[in-house]
Structure 1
Amino acid sequence: MALDRIDKLMLRLLQEDGRMSNADLAARVNVSPATCHRRTQRLFDDGHIQTVRAVVNPQSVGLGAIAMVGVVLDRSTPESFAKFETAILALPMILDCHLVAGDFDYLLKIRVADMADFSRLHGGVLIALPEVRQARTFFVMKEVKDAAPLDF
């Protein structure tokens, strides 16, 4: 179903504050609470809202370093991609994994405590991933913009 002006406004507001009460959201978009609830449920049912979760401060849980890792596989075959992707899905420390065009096959975003923590991960896990020929690591020096809300 196509999104109308109210749906889009609801999505923008919920991106800003996923804990906003239904009553507050209804008031902000100028519909009744019952209508707002039905619309919110439809946004979930139609897949426009995938999930609601807390954004945890990484430093507060000891994960203050980010490594971006470009991975090149041995072969560019559907089987190689499937093996690698299955292995990646089992690793919770890998926040993002994207199949990309360019110098790498995949680009990974990994959160770790520090460089020593990454070194252990690299030596014990990353280089042992199936089909990996090369991994190039880039350490993030400063997060300028991360997990920004969608603009539509």
Structure 2
Amino acid sequence: MPYIHLDAIDLKILDALQKDGRLSNSDLSDIVGLSQSPCLRRVKRLEKEGFITSYRAILDREAVGLSLTVFAAFRLKSATPEAAEEFEQRLTALPQVITCHMLSGDSDCLAEIVAPSVAAYQAFLTEHLRALPHVRDIRSNIALKRVKSETPMPLAHIKRPLDGPDC
């Protein structure tokens, strides 16, 4: 595994901000055991180096009327890079698509889609998804229950200079 240039304090900062991106610098510095100025410098460095890409509010899906989650698996007609890129651009431009992964295996793409109801998803499927370029077929799976979502990234795998190789 390549060495990632993060020390124990950097990892504490990342962990704390993943759990609560609204932490004040004062509270964050208390959590990680630094004074405020060095803590803020580290946060700015982590942002600049791309470890922290953004901050946002996570909305309750039901509260905003998007209680239906559908996982749509797509198979494409063509495997050319141009076809895949055009498909990706058109699919990811749809605001109802909240995550999208290109895959190997039986499907070429898996998209997580939110909608207010089954009827709304059916209309979205008919009007938008079936109109996407290069689509051979779409398999829709309706989520019955969200068990885990919006969780922080695990960071225990990151090796620091004093860590030895895996045993």
Alignment TM class, shorter chain as reference = over 0.9
Matched residue SS, 2:152 = coil
Supply the RMSD in Å over aligned alpha carbons. Answer: 0.8
Shift of 1:89: 2.4
Distance (whole Å) between structure 2 residues aligned to residue 64 and residue 146 of structure 1: 14
Are residues 1:98 and 2:101 paired? yes
Selected match of 1:70 from 45, 68, 73: 73
Q: Which residue of 2 aligns with 1:2?
A: 5
Q: How does 1:46-85 map to 2 (within 5 A)?
A: 46-85=49-88
Q: How does 1:141-152 map to 2 (within 5 A)?
A: 141-152=144-155
Q: Residue 24 of structure 2 aligns to which amino acid in structure 1?
A: S
Matched residue SS, 2:51 = coil
For normalisation by structure 2, the TM-score amounts to 0.89
For normalisation by structure 1, the TM-score amounts to 0.98
Are residues 1:17 and 2:20 paired? yes
Matched residue SS, 1:125 = helix
Return 5+ residue gaps in structure 2 as ranges: 156-167
Q: Residue 44 of structure 1 aligns to which amino acid in structure 2?
A: E
Distance (whole Å) between structure 2 residues aligned to residue 20 and residue 13 of structure 1: 8
Q: Residue 85 of structure 1 aligns to which amino acid in structure 2?
A: E
Return 5+ residue gaps in structure 1 as ranges: none
Distance (whole Å) between structure 2 residues aligned to residue 77 and residue 121 of structure 1: 26
List per-residue Cα deviations over 1:110-140 (Å, max 9, x = no partner).
0000100100000100000010010000000
Structure having the higher helix fraction is 1
* Runs of 4+ residues over 6 Å off in structure 1: none
Percent identical pairs in the alignment equals 37
Bigger CA drift: 82-91 or 124-133? 82-91
Aligned length: 152
